[in-house]
Amino acid sequence: MEFRGTYVALVTPFTRDNKVDAAKIRELVEFQIKNGTSGLVPCGTTGESPTLSWDEHKLVVKTVVEAARGRVQVIAGAGSNNTREAVDAALFARRVGADAVLVVSPYYNKPTQEGLFRHFKTVAQEGKMPVVIYNIQSRTGVNIETSTMVRLKSVPNIVAVKEASGSMNQISDVICRCGDKLDVLSGDDSMTLPLLAAGGQGVISVIANLLPKEMERLCADFFKGNLKAATARHQRLFALFQGMFYETNPIPIREAMNMTGWEIGHARLPLTPLASRYRKMLAVELAKIGLKVKRRA
């Protein structure tokens, strides 16, 4: 199984009474497919997996798979700091027809490198699903060292890695040492072009929630050898890439989508709505790329 191009780290829309909005999920899936996204990644950090109940998690994954109808790949979030829970999430994703699972490094309990190896190996073996490893030390408190990734690349069912270490040296090292077995995807929109240039395969994107066609074209231009066009698109979107981290993700992307008319609700506590000073800044950046802000910032 190959992972290449733009995958969207799908937001989870909420109704006004703070329930999962399944109808809006289906609408978002259609929007993504219509605009060329390679795949959908529900129930990741951008989808607010930490505040979804297990029943809500299952509802989101099942709704996305059903709405996609096999037209694009679905990589279902299955991360946990409890290995057994991650296995159960992978088994559920398999039952409902997802193509793969995204498994983040266990957070808070900070396992050793040996613990990380055993965790991902267990999920891959017992979950019986292709696994995309997610390395993001800023969220989990632990980095998957490249030496550990080298061990993991030979584990059956481990097929790709979402790299959000923030270090191009580490990302390049992973590509050089593991790219023969693992598809390496960027976990940061702003690192997409550098990662592609280093030999990576694509991105699991936050901004693609709002601009799927732009991110798809950035990758497509690069793969076609049109580096000038890919670079121009990267530069055009760079300030907005940065804007997605004015405050903790997914606060800014939810605000941007609401500001442009998507009405997906606000983040759940302990996350809060975007501060007013950042809303104003975000409105400016959205306007610069031609998006109409439908409510005052």
Bond preceding residue 250 cis, omega within 30 of 0: yes
- Predicted pLDDT at 99: 98
Structural domain including 210 reads 5-223
152 falls within a domain: yes
Distance, in Å, from the CA atom of 189 to the CA atom of 198, rounded to the nearest integer, reads: 15
- At 296, is the pLDDT very low, low, confident or very high (cuts 50, 70, 90)? low
Give every CB contact of residue 211 below 8 A, 6+ residues apart in sequence.
237, 240, 289
Average pLDDT score over residue span 74-103: 98
Helix 276-288 with 227-243: angle, nearest 10 deg: 160
252 falls within a domain: no
> Burial, 221: exposed, middle or buried (Cβ in 10 Å; 0-12, 13-18, 19+)?
buried
Q: How many residues would you count in the chain? A: 297
251 falls within a domain: no
31 falls within a domain: yes
Average pLDDT score over residue span 175-182: 96
How many domains in the chain?
Answer: 1
pLDDT in tens, 30-65: 999 999 999 999 999 999 999 999 999 999 999 999
Q: 65: which 2 tokens?
A: 């798979």
70 falls within a domain: yes
- Predicted pLDDT at 110: 93
CATH, residue 104:
3.20.20.70
Question: Mean pLDDT of all residues in the chain?
Answer: 96
Q: Quickly count: other Cβ atoms within 10 Å of residue 296's Cβ.
A: 8
201 falls within a domain: yes
- At 109, is the pLDDT very low, low, confident or very high (cuts 50, 70, 90)? very high
286 falls within a domain: no
Could you say which DSSP state residue 38 is in?
S
16 falls within a domain: yes
Q: How many CA atoms lie within 13 A of 213 on its CB side?
A: 4
pTM above 0.85, yes or no: yes
The answer to whether residue 132 scores a pLDDT higher than 50 is yes
| Contact by Cβ (8 Å): 252, 282 | yes
pLDDT in tens, 194-209: 999 999 999 999 999 9
Which residues are designated catalytic?
A: 134, 162
